[in-house]
């Protein structure tokens, strides 16, 4: 029995869901998302979407929860949106943005210029006495996670001093240095 797949999804005000034979489209105030699907079926009753599967074999059970979660993320994304924040920890680490170009100074001999997709909005916050923060917002959770992970991979946090790019709130497992 799938606990996640059996939960109904409430459709908020201002969101429209269109179900075709092999794809589902969700439109809202922030944007429009499409998702292909197979081996499950969707039904809408009284502003609630339910997901059901055709049989009880392993692949169908797995896709039941998967497509329910993807659809829920789509509905939340087009109505509220998602936010990810990255923190730059290190002396001299800086971030600036000009439109969709993110200019990062990460201790390399040159600055890294990262092109961000138009679906993701970027904002850099630099305050005196605190680490620079990169704030990414989007209605597409998958794309937002991919962009944030790509930025983090430019300089992953190292375990000795904790320098690098990390998610806000992420705990870095620290190692002891040389023992005297």
The tens digit of pLDDT for each residue in 57-89 reads 999 988 999 999 999 999 999 999 999 999 999
Residue of 134, 31, 153 whose CA lies nearest to 83: 134
> Do residues 72 and 108 share a domain?
no
Element (H, E) at 10: strand 9-10
> Residue 34's pLDDT is what?
95
Token pair, residue 54, equals 């055709």
The string of pLDDT tens digits covering residues 34-51 is 999 988 999 999 999 999
Contacts of 84 (CB under 8 A, 6+ apart): 135, 136, 144, 145, 148, 167
- CATH number of the domain bearing residue 110: 3.90.930.12
The domain of 57 spans 3-79
> Can you give the pLDDT at residue 179?
80
Whether residue 70 is found in the same domain as residue 88: no
Strands, E assignment, the chain: 9-10, 16-19, 23-27, 32-36, 40-45, 48-53, 82-89, 94-98, 101-105, 112-115, 121-125, 133-138, 164-167
Domain's final residue, options 79, 112, 139: 79
- Is the pTM of the predicted complex or chain greater than 0.85? yes
Among 79, 107, 133, the domain boundary falls at: 79
- Average pLDDT along the chain: 93
| pLDDT tier at 180, thresholds 50, 70, 90 | low
Considering the domain architecture, whether residues 87 and 163 belong to the same structural domain is answered as: yes
pLDDT-based confidence at residue 178 (cuts at 50, 70, 90): confident
On whether the CB atoms of residues 155 and 87 are closer than 8 A, the answer is no
Task: Judge if 125 and 138 occupy the same domain.
Answer: yes
* Same domain for 161 and 103: yes
**Residue 159 per-residue DSSP state:** T
179 domain-assigned: no
Q: Which pair of structure tokens corresponds to residue 44?
A: 């809408």
State the pLDDT at residue 163. 94
Let me know if residue 125 belongs to a domain. Answer: yes
pLDDT tens-place string over residues 83-120? 999 999 999 999 999 999 999 999 999 999 999 999 99
Question: How far apart are the two ends of the chain, measured CA to CA in Å?
Answer: 56
152 and 115 in a common domain: yes
Q: What SS3 class is residue 138?
A: strand
- Domain total of the chain: 2
In a domain, 173, yes or no: no
Domain boundary among 33, 61, 79: 79
DSSP state at residue 40: E
């Amino acid at each position: 029995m799938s606990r996640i797949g059996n939960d109904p999804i409430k459709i908020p005000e201002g969101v429209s869901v269109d179900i075709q034979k092999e794809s589902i489209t969700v439109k809202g105030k922030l944007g429009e998302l499409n998702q292909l699907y197979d081996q499950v079926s969707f039904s809408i009753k009284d502003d609630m979407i339910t997901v059901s599967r055709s049989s009880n074999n392993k692949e169908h059970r797995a896709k039941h929860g998967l497509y329910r979660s993807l659809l829920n993320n789509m509905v939340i994304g087009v109505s509220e949106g998602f936010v990810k924040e990255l923190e730059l920890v290190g002396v001299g680490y800086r971030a600036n943005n000009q439109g969709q170009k993110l200019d990062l100074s990460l201790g390399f001999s040159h600055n890294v210029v990262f092109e961000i997709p138009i679906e993701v909005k970027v904002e850099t916050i630099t305050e005196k006495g605190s680490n620079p923060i990169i704030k990414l917002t989007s209605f597409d959770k998958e794309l937002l996670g991919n962009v944030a992970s790509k930025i983090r991979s430019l300089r992953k946090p190292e375990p000795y001093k904790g320098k690098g790019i990390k998610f806000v709130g992420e705990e870095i497992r620290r190692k002891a240095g040389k023992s005297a």
